[in-house]
Structure 1
Amino acid sequence: MKKLGFIGMGNMASAILLGAVKSGFLKGEETIAYDPNDSKLNGLNRECGMAKATSIPDVIDNSEMILLAVKPKNVENILSENRDQLKNRTLLSVAAGWQYNRFRRFLDISTHICAIMPNTPAMVGEGMSIIEATNDLSPKEMVFTRQLFAALGQVEELSSDLMGIGGTLSGCAPAWVFMMIEALADGAVYYGLPRDIAYRLASQTVLGSGKMVRDTGMHPGKLKDDVCSPGGITIRGVKALEEGGLRIAMMNAMDAAYKKPD
């Protein structure tokens, strides 16, 4: 019996598997996975020793815990087709838009369920994963789950009513930050800095700034003030950003993403 089985091995599931193996939390041979893309499974098998399953039932039968990592539109069919096999089993899910109450409509009461929302920076070990507080995990299973996703970055637990807005922030904001990095680099390229260097400077600056906010616990406004000398160049840039509506643009982006109609 494997410690963790994967249903679906796309980019996120691969990041979870490789992150857990590289951190030493799991050994590749302690995992098993199924995906219709056999070449994907072959590659991961060669890279970390993960076992290849022949079907979804094969994963369920041979795993202590199962991680569902398929496209959201495929979840309902998988749950319906494997409802009986999932009885008395533990199912973790990273499928977007699927939370505890929605899963509960399709699965037997004996199935333990927990929804997790990771984001793409998990692929480089700097992810933000949100665990839904409403779940059926035993204390031992919760420890395993938190340690699994801690191998990919930071972990936060949120109540069900906050999963949507929390997932919007951590899940969508990487795209907006990438746009910021691109724009910062463009501004430097305009004045002659080579683009590859501009991207390195901008990305490391964003990474370091985020780490300062997280690790110091200081208010981001205070950290901003510390960089702004009176009459200096940074405060001039702050003024330009305020005139350009940076804050309201970010808030509007959150609003637009969170309120997207189903």
Structure 2
Amino acid sequence: MATLGFIGTGNMGGALARAACKSVPSDQVFLANRTVEKAKALAEELDCRVADNEAIAQSANLIFLGVKPQYMAEVMAEICPILEKRESRFILVSMAAGLTIPRIRELAGKDYPVIRIMPNTPAAIGEGMVFYDCSENVTKTEEKVFLESLAGAGRLAPLADKLMDAGSAVAGCGPAFADLFIEALADGGVACGLPRALALESAAQMMLGTAKLMLETGKHPGQLKDAVCSPGGATIQGIRALEEAGFRGAVMDAVIAAWEKSQGM
């Protein structure tokens, strides 16, 4: 069983740590964070261990780099001397937006095995979408161990390094877009007289159920949309209002804007 070390336990690092503890014995999961209290609180919640960057760099088999892109160079400079002295095998797992596998290796100073991942926050409850790509020196056995370790995160799908930013713009940034839509739906419900709590619950359950319906039936969302739009009915009038407001174009623009930002990091 692999030992997992998380350097950075923010929203994303914490979500993956929660997912990992569903598949990996908690005493094999180590957490480090710039704010130690944050790592301690999460370790207590998950019954796993607190460490520091140095300890994780010395001993973890899978080293998850859960730091923001602008801090990656600083963290790598700190742990590189330790990695260089290691005799045991390890893999760097980077979740930093915009940083390719070659860039991670450049910061590390050597062609270490690297797995680049683009997860999202629903991974914390086992409903995540995690894209990943392995450098050429990650073995099939190591890839299998990695996938087993994060099985509790949700869906894991291979994606070429060059497409990671696009995947992140949809699945990584998407939860924020979906949250905005849920909030807007609830606001509309409140405007029509629904109590706030019920409006939020019904909007969220509708999103959950609709997504599961598409995934489990394999039907195109356009087909599912048409099934709800009765001739002369209320739904098609709502669709008309969304189209008049440029709904689909706005969503596409949001994805492209997020992708362009990642490309420039």
Say whether the fold is shared (TM-score over 0.5): yes
Counterpart of 2:44?
46
> In the TM superposition, what is the alpha-carbon distance from 1:135 to its structure 2 partner?
5.0
Q: Does 1:184 align with 2:182?
A: no
Taking the aligned partners of 2:43 and 2:253, their CA distance within structure 1 comes to: 44
More RCO (CA 8 Å, sep 6+)? 2
Q: Which amino acid aligns with 1:58?
A: A
Counterpart of 1:136?
137
SS for the counterpart of 1:137 is: coil
Q: Could you report, residue by residue, the CA deviation over 1:181-218 in whole angstroms, capped at 9, with x for unpaired residues? A: 11111111111100100000001101111111222111
> In the TM superposition, what is the alpha-carbon distance from 1:110 to its structure 2 partner?
5.1
Unaligned runs of 5+ in 2: none
Counterpart of 1:249?
250
* TM, length-normalised to structure 1: 0.91
Q: Which amino acid aligns with 2:102?
A: N
Corresponding residue to 1:29 among 19, 24, 27? 27
Q: Does 1:10 align with 2:7?
A: no
The answer to which of 234-243 and 107-116 deviates more is 107-116
**Change in CA separation of 1:254 and 1:36 when aligned onto 2, cut-off 3 Å:** closer
Name the one with the larger helix percent: 2
The answer to which of 67-76 and 9-18 deviates more is 9-18
- Contact map agreement 2:134 2:143 (CA 8 A) in 1: no
* TM, length-normalised to structure 2: 0.90
- Contact map agreement 1:121 1:127 (CA 8 A) in 2: yes
Q: Which amino acid aligns with 1:41?
A: A
> In the TM superposition, what is the alpha-carbon distance from 1:26 to its structure 2 partner?
0.9
Unaligned runs of 5+ in 1: none
The answer to which of 159-168 and 251-260 deviates more is 251-260
**Change in CA separation of 1:2 and 1:49 when aligned onto 2, cut-off 3 Å:** farther
Taking the aligned partners of 2:61 and 2:258, their CA distance within structure 1 comes to: 36
Q: Could you report, residue by residue, the CA deviation over 1:99-138 in whole angstroms, capped at 9, with x for unpaired residues? A: 2011121234452111101112222322111102545321
Counterpart of 1:82?
79
Taking the aligned partners of 2:222 and 2:147, their CA distance within structure 1 comes to: 31
> In the TM superposition, what is the alpha-carbon distance from 1:83 to its structure 2 partner?
2.0
Q: Does 1:62 align with 2:59?
A: yes
Aligned residues: 259
**Change in CA separation of 1:180 and 1:91 when aligned onto 2, cut-off 3 Å:** same
Taking the aligned partners of 1:217 and 1:86, their CA distance within structure 2 comes to: 45
**Change in CA separation of 1:256 and 1:63 when aligned onto 2, cut-off 3 Å:** closer
Aligned-pair identity in percent equals 38
- Contact map agreement 2:113 2:135 (CA 8 A) in 1: no
**Change in CA separation of 1:184 and 1:162 when aligned onto 2, cut-off 3 Å:** same
